[in-house]
């Protein structure tokens, strides 16, 4: 090959690289996904892929169906988001290609899901028909179906509070039956399911601690929570905070609180009370109530900044234009502000230097510095709700 | 919320004449409330969620006035709250009637 041919060859090669690059990545460049995330745009059935370093939207992916109350988990390599829609849709979104990699409609009515610790299984929590379905994370092909039958074995319960636990396990609560089930997929073949009875009236949501040890379900039907220590040889339900509001009249709850994204702050955790404008402060070892914090309204999310020093709280309708920030050392509200109508969700950057806030009825997402509380950015979005960053891929229970 | 803001919210939601049908702007606010706030439990398409479906088929045989009572006073022992602090009786009746007609969703 002479010099001229060699240079033509190099030119063609460069051209081929450019063409291939344009076809696979819209940005036209190699990039990581560790600082990416998605914002659910409920109105248009889309998720927008956001870059938390440049604080901008990279593009939106449509065709995800009814995304009211949608949530997401991420693949271990943080390239794919699995988005759970209310209409039973499960969509695998490629964040780099900005397109749908796989999509199924797996039930009539669903409420979130989880990914196994090895990243191989996606579990979805269903209202109708009540139960949990599990799929292969690669192509969303079916792996297992766990109907939430109880009592006479003909009734099916709605399933809530589905989380992953170490050892290819999923833990979830049966809303109508008051039971907590542990499905273990560590063996080959069908999962082994442990059913724990006596959680209490109407468990409505649950959380698992970041170490994968404690599963705690909130109860709507009574004042108290159900706790399972997953490190026990034979896990059992223990009631904690029984009668935390005994004798007090409950206020109407216009929106159910969430427990996921619960706030562990050093040696205590903060939970939304039900029917009270309060956060409960609970000792993280004894699980006894050690205090309460009066809040602006019925708390919906109480989310700890990743270092645990602050807890950010949003509220139920009609007081949902406000955020309060609690200092977890003094348990005092140190900051209160009104981003706008219908603050639905808050998500921290992995180390907590900034927080993204969706303000649904204002049609925007706002980004704040968590130390100075300065607003750094506004991004226009259509009815934004949930915000999920890829760092969740590395956390148990998220 | 300060009293002034609370008053503004009520002006937006509660029509001046509580006995009459809600006016156009009130109907818009009520439609928003049904889809977004009722929708957080009953689904934004009202097909049901933690709460049951609110589509005409599911409400067949249920009296609109009885439904309005449920909206105002809630259902004891369930998460359904009473909305009487936020809605007037005529608004609740209007919502109940429109739910039965299916006019909130396409």
Tens of each residue's pLDDT in chain A, 398 residues: 455 555 555 555 555 544 444 444 455 679 999 999 999 998 789 999 999 999 999 999 999 998 888 999 999 999 999 999 988 999 999 999 999 999 999 998 889 999 999 999 999 999 989 999 999 999 999 999 999 999 887 899 999 999 999 999 999 999 999 999 999 999 988 999 999 999 999 999 999 998 999 999 998 888 889 999 999 999 999 999 887 765 567 788 888 888 866 677 778 889 898 888 999 999 988 889 999 999 999 999 999 999 999 999 999 999 999 999 999 999 999 999 999 999 999 999 999 999 999 999 999 999 999 999 999 999 999 999 999 999 999 999 88
CB contact under 8 A, B45 and A66: yes
The whole-number pLDDT of residue A160 equals 95
Please give the residue of chain A at the shortest CA–CA distance from B87: A318
CB < 8 Å to A256, chain B: 40-41, 50, 79
Unique residue bearing structure tokens 């708390």: A299
CB < 8 Å to B10, chain A: none
Write out the H or E segment, with its range, that includes residue B26.
Answer: helix B24-33
Q: How far, in Å, are A132, A136, A140 from residue A144 at the CA level?
A: 8, 9, 11
Please give the residue of chain B at the shortest CA–CA distance from A338: B1
CB contact under 8 A, B50 and A256: yes
The whole-number pLDDT of residue B36 equals 87
The whole-number pLDDT of residue A129 equals 92
Report the residue from B1, B45, B81 with minimal CB separation from A253. B81
Dist CA A76 CA A350 (whole Å): 15
Please give the residue of chain B at the shortest CA–CA distance from A253: B81
Of residues A386, A335, A345, the one with CA closest to residue A41: A386
| DSSP string across A68-80 | TT-EEEE-TTS-E
Yes or no: say if A9 and A1 are a contact pair by the CB < 8 Å rule: yes
- Nearest chain A Cα distance for residue B46, angstroms: 11
Tokens of residue A200, six digits: 């209490």
Of residues A305, A313, A369, A366, the one with CA closest to residue A336: A313
CB contact under 8 A, A66 and B79: no
CB contact under 8 A, A69 and B81: no
Q: What was the ipTM of the complex prediction?
A: 0.75
Q: Which parts of A209-284 are beta strand (E)?
A: 214-219, 225-229, 237-240, 263-265, 268-272, 278-283
Please give the residue of chain A at the shortest CA–CA distance from B84: A252
- Nearest chain A Cα distance for residue B64, angstroms: 21
Yes or no: say if A143 and A134 are a contact pair by the CB < 8 Å rule: yes
Q: pLDDT truncated to tens, each residue of chain B (106 aa)? A: 555 554 444 444 444 444 467 887 889 999 999 998 898 889 888 988 889 999 999 999 999 999 999 999 999 888 899 999 999 999 999 999 999 999 998 7
CB < 8 Å to B41, chain A: 255-256
Interface mutation target, options A206, A252, A316, chain B, most CBs of B under 10 Å: A252
Dist CA A373 CA A304 (whole Å): 15
CB < 8 Å to A340, chain B: none
Neighbour tally for A161: CB within 10 Å: 28
Rounded to a whole number of angstroms, the distance between the first and last alpha carbons of chain B is 35
Dist CA B67 CA B61 (whole Å): 11
The whole-number pLDDT of residue B14 equals 46
Residues of A with CB under 8 A from a CB of B: 42, 66, 68-69, 86-87, 108-109, 111, 127-128, 158, 160, 175, 202, 204, 220-221, 252-256, 296, 317-319, 322, 342, 360-361
Q: What's the predicted TM-score (pTM) here?
A: 0.88
Report the residue from A42, A127, A360 with minimal CB separation from B49. A127
CB contact under 8 A, B50 and A255: no
Dist CA B1 CA B7 (whole Å): 10
CB contact under 8 A, A252 and B40: no
The whole-number pLDDT of residue A24 equals 44
CB < 8 Å to B40, chain A: 68-69, 255-256
Please give the residue of chain B at the shortest CA–CA distance from A43: B44
Pairing of strands A310-315, A299-304: antiparallel
Tokens of residue B86, six digits: 């936020």
Residue A327 main-chain phi, psi, to 5 deg: -80, 120
Yes or no: say if A36 and A390 are a contact pair by the CB < 8 Å rule: yes
Q: Which of residues 74-103 of B touch A (CB under 8 A)?
A: 74, 77-79, 81-83, 85-86
The whole-number pLDDT of residue A66 equals 86
Cβ of residue B104 closer than 8 Å to a chain A Cβ: no
- Nearest chain B Cα distance for residue A231, angstroms: 31
CB contact under 8 A, A256 and B9: no
Please give the residue of chain B at the shortest CA–CA distance from A68: B44
- Nearest chain B Cα distance for residue A338, angstroms: 10
């Amino acid at each position: 090959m002479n010099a001229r041919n060699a240079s033509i060859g190099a030119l063609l090669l460069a051209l081929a690289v450019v063409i291939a690059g344009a076809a696979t990545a819209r940005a036209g460049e190699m990039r990581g996904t560790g600082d990416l995330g998605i914002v659910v745009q409920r109105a248009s059935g889309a998720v927008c892929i956001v870059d938390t370093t440049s604080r901008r939207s990279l593009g939106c992916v449509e065709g995800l169906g009814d995304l009211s109350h949608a949530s997401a988990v991420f693949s271990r390599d943080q390239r794919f988001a699995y988005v759970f829609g209310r209409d039973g849709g499960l969509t695998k979104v490629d964040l780099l290609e900005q397109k749908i990699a796989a999509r199924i409609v797996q039930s009539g009515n669903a409420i979130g899901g989880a990914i196994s610790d090895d990243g191989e299984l996606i579990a979805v929590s269903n209202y109708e028909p009540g139960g949990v379905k599990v799929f292969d994370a690669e192509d969303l092909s079916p792996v297992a179906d766990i109907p939430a039958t109880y009592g006479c074995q003909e009734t099916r319960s709605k399933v809530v509070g589905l989380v992953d636990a170490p050892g290819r396990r999923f833990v979830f609560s049966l809303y109508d039956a008051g039971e907590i089930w542990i499905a273990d997929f560590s063996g080959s073949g069908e999962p082994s399911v442990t059913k724990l009875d006596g959680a209490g009236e109407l468990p409505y949501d649950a959380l698992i601690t970041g170490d994968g040890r404690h599963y705690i379900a909130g109860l709507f039907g009574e004042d108290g929570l159900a706790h399972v220590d997953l490190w026990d040889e034979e896990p059992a339900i223990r009631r904690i905070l029984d009668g935390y509001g005994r004798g007090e009249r409950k206020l109407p709850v216009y929106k159910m609180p969430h427990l996921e994204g619960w706030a562990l702050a050093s040696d205590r955790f903060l939970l939304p009370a039900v029917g009270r404008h309060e956060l409960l402060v609970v000792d993280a070892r004894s699980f006894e109530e050690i205090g309460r914090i009066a809040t602006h309204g019925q708390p919906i999310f109480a989310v700890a900044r990743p270092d645990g020093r602050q807890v950010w709280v949003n509220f139920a309708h009609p007081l949902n234009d406000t955020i309060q920030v609690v200092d977890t050392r003094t348990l005092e509200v140190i900051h209160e502000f009104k981003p706008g109508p219908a603050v639905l969700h808050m998500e921290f950057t992995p180390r907590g230097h900034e927080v993204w806030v969706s303000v649904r009825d204002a049609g925007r997402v706002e980004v704040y510095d968590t130390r100075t509380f300065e607003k750094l950015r506004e991004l226009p979005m259509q009815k934004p709700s949930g915000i999920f960053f890829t760092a969740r891929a590395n956390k148990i229970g998220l | 919320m300060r009293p002034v803001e609370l008053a503004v919210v009520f002006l937006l939601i509660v029509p001046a004449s509580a006995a009459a049908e809600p006016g156009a702007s009130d109907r818009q606010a009520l439609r928003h409330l049904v889809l977004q706030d009722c929708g957080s439990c009953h689904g934004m398409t009202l097909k049901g969620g933690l709460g049951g479906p609110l589509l005409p088929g599911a409400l067949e045989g249920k009296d609109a006035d009885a439904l309005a009572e449920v909206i105002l006073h809630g259902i004891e022992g369930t998460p359904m709250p009473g909305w009487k602090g936020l809605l007037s009786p005529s608004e609740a009746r209007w919502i109940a009637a429109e739910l039965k007609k299916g006019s909130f969703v396409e």
